[in-house]
Amino acid sequence: MFEQFAAERVNIGEASVFVRYGGEGPPLLLLHGHPRTSATWHRVAPVLVRRGFTVVCPDLRGYGRSRGPAPTLDHAAHSKRAVAEDMVGVMRALGHEHFGLVGHDRGAAVALRLVLDHPAAVTRVAFLDGLPISEHLKRADARFATAWWHWFFFAQPDIPERVINADPDAWYRGDSQKMGVGNHDEWRAATRNPDVVRAMLEDYRAGLTIDREQEEADYAEGARVHCPVLVLWSLRDDLEDLYGDPRDVWQDWAHDVRGYGIDSGHHMAEDAPGPLSAALGDFFTH
């Protein structure tokens, strides 16, 4: 995976971030979702390099090989604001003050926080299979709770750690053929690490508390995304089934929204790398 990409650990204040990067040209920061690592982009990143971009793929704080501080009672140590600060620090360490931004799943929540907190840094942003956390929770009816029950299970203290760590392979099911062997092996090693599992759960605990509160406060104060926005969603996942056209939700958060559904399961970087790479390459070539 990631031939001709560099890999290193970047120390950013309280966090140590593992990052892969390669290529030349305008920088793109790709943020993975749960429970993946930066390796999820292994079929997309090389294509974007060939399209003329510098591509940066970090592990989010606590995921994969990145590490952050111990969890805090208010979950702020794993908040999207803290992770977004990590990502800005990584990009600056690599010499990029301005960049395009892509976030999938939980990475989309980080991407929203990053573009709200650091609007001057982001030229364009793509949200993949993601909505603002506060918008999910505003619509949390019985259908949402049934389909996305793990959000609320993960929020419980201690119990999820005991359940997941008892048999992580049974909980985090992966297919090496679909994911790619190297990606699968990296993901499997991460999900067998209790510290990674704890950090991933803290990501969700922060989502239901401090992240939601910060999003709601920003929205009430009129904060919006001013750069162009691309919204892509998996047609074989349930985002559109639950909410209708995701672009309609994002219209309340951004001034310039475009996008469409991709014939894919939830992990579109693995399931549909060709259509995804084409969509991102076209959007960020402007």
Which residues is 31 bridged to in the sheet? 103
Instruction: Kindly state the tokens that stand for 251.
Output: 């219209």
The phi and psi torsions of 61 (rounded to 5 degrees) equal -50, 120
Q: Are 68 and 15 in contact, with CB atoms under 8 Å apart?
A: yes
Angle value at C-alpha 191, between 126 and 18, nearest 5 degrees: 55
Q: Residue 101, SS3?
A: strand
Task: Please give the Cα distance from 239 to 45 (Å, whole number).
Answer: 25
Instruction: Find the catalytic residue in 32, 59, 96, 105.
Output: 105
Residue 240, token pair as written in the block:
């559109």
Instruction: Report helix, strand or coil for 148.
Output: coil
DSSP state of 225: B
Q: How far is CA 263 from CA 210, 260, 266, in A?
A: 34, 10, 10
CA distance 187 to 183: 6
Annotation says 105 is catalytic? yes
Task: Assess whether 96 carries a catalytic annotation.
Answer: no
- Name beta bridge partners: 122: 99
- Note the helical H segments in the chain: 45-50, 80-93, 106-117, 133-138, 142-147, 150-154, 159-166, 168-171, 176-179, 181-191, 194-206, 212-220, 239-243, 246-250, 268-271, 273-284
In sequence order, the 6+-apart residues with CB closer than 8 A to the CB of 116 are 218, 223, 225
Catalytic sites, residue numbers: 105, 266
